[in-house]
Amino acid sequence: MSAPNTIRLITADASWAASRLADGDTVAHAFANFYVLSSKADAETVRGVNLMKGRPPGQVGSITGPPAALPAVWDLDRLPAGLSRPTALNLLDTFFAMGPFGFRGPAAPDVPGHLTFPEGSMSTAQVIAPGYACPSNEFLVRALRATGDDFLYITSANRSRHQTGADDSPAHYLAAGLRAEFGDQPGFVVLDHPDEMVARARYPRHLPMSTTILGLHTVLTRPDDPRPHLVLDRHGSLPASVVREVLAEFGFGLVLGPKAQTRLLLRDYSHGLADRSVA
C-alpha cells in the first residue's frame, strides 16, 4: 500500500474512508445518484479542496452531514416572517425523504465565516445532504465520529470554471470518470456505488447531477399571488416543477432566483470518461 501521504485512488469501505477524511484526505463518494467531494470543514482543508478543483482558495463552501444533523447549522429563530420553524423542518423532512437536496438558511453563530454566504445583513449557510435512503449516510456518520466535528465540507465532483475557462464542468455520476479526471491528485479516496445503474434508478425524479437548492432565508410576496413564496437558489437534480408541487402542499409558491433560471447541465460521457462537455 502507498504511504499515507501518497494515497491516490482506491475503492474503500466507509470506515476506512472516514479515517482517511479525518486525516485530511478528500473523499469522493457516492451521493444518491451522483458523486461529491467531502472533507473536513476547517479553513485550511477547504482551501486545499478549492485549489484541487481549480477554484479560488477562499471560495465559500457548503456543509454536509446526515440529514438529521443539519438543522443545527442554522439559527432557526431568524427564519423570515411567514416561515415557521416547524414548517422549515417539515420541508427538510419531505425533500430528504425524496432524495438528495440542498437548503440555504440563516447561519448559526458558530458556523465559521468561510462556510457562510452574506445575504444583506444576514449570514447564511448552505447544506447539501443525500437524503434518508442513501447508503452514504453511513460514511457521513462515521466521518463525523472520526473527526469529532459537527459537520463536513462538501462540493461537487467536477473542475471549476476558474480552471477550465468556461462554465463549471457538470458533476460526475460515474466513478470511472472521477478517476479519469482526478487521478493525479494525492490524498484522494474514492468510495463508490457497488452498482451505479441501480443507484441512479432509485431516484427516478432526480437527474444525476448536483442538487437543487431551496432558500429558507427569504420569503417573498407577489401581487398576483397571495401565497408566500420561497426562492429556488439552484435548479439541479430535482426539477423545479416537483419543488413547486411540494411547496404548494405547504401553502407556498416558488420563485426562481437569478442562478436558478437555467437548470444545471448533465455530464456527457459520450466522448470518454474524462470529457468535460455537456449534454
Q: What CATH number is attached to the domain comprising 26? A: 3.90.870.10
Does residue 266 fall inside a structural domain? no
Instruction: Single out the residue of 154, 156, 152 nearest to residue 173, CA to CA.
Output: 156
Q: What is the pLDDT of residues 218-270, one digit of tens each?
A: 999 998 999 999 999 999 999 999 999 999 999 999 999 999 999 999 999 98
Domain assignment present for 134: yes
CB-CB neighbours of 158 under 10 Å = 26
Residue 90 resides in a domain: yes
pLDDT the model gives residue 164: 42
This prediction's pTM: 0.91
- Domain membership of residue 148 (yes or no) is yes
Domain range for 69 is: 4-260
Report how far Cα 63 is from the mean position of its chain's Cα atoms. 7
**Comparison of pLDDT for 51 and 165, the residue scoring more:** 51
- Please tell me the predicted confidence (pLDDT) of residue 271: 76
Q: Cβ-count burial of 261 within 10 angstroms (0-12 exposed, 13-18 middle, 19+ buried)?
A: exposed
Residue 238 lies in a domain: yes
Structural domains in the chain (count): 1
Take residue 50 and report the three cell numbers written for it: 478549492
Percent of the chain surpassing pLDDT 70: 90
- The 10s digit of each residue's pLDDT in 104-154 is 999 999 999 999 999 888 999 999 999 999 989 999 999 999 999 999 999
**b/e 217-251 (16+ beta carbons within 10 angstroms → b):** bbbbeeeeeeebbbbbbbbbbbebeebbebbeeee
pLDDT of residue 159: 87
